[in-house]
Amino acid sequence: MDNSNQASGYNESNNENLVEDLKKSLKNTIDETKNILEDLERTIAKTINDEATSNESKKIVDLISSEITNYKLSESQNSSKTNDDLKGFNNLEEE
């Protein structure tokens, strides 16, 4: 294997590791955000005596959580495309 093939293999492996690290980081951030939103919902339910306000807050938190979940699903579907894009970028660098 010549140096350019070794460098290409290293770059692809490195990019795949970076993509995996970013996925893990995104998942952790999403999980932490959901926990914060759940804590907020519980805090509002305990401290706000107005049931309408508490219910409206719960709807907003649920909507935000749903949006985060939808984003997470769409990003996981796009992750393989991102990895392919990075491979294409490496090929350009080598030329």
pLDDT-derived band at 41, boundaries 50, 70, 90: confident
pLDDT tens readout for residues 3-39: 555 555 667 788 888 888 988 998 898 889 989 999 9
Please answer whether residues 57 and 41 qualify as being in contact, where contact means their C-beta atoms are separated by less than 8 angstroms: yes
CA dist., res. 79 & res. 81, Å (int): 5
pLDDT-derived band at 68, boundaries 50, 70, 90: confident
Is the pLDDT at 95 greater than 50? The verdict is no
pTM of the entire predicted model: 0.59
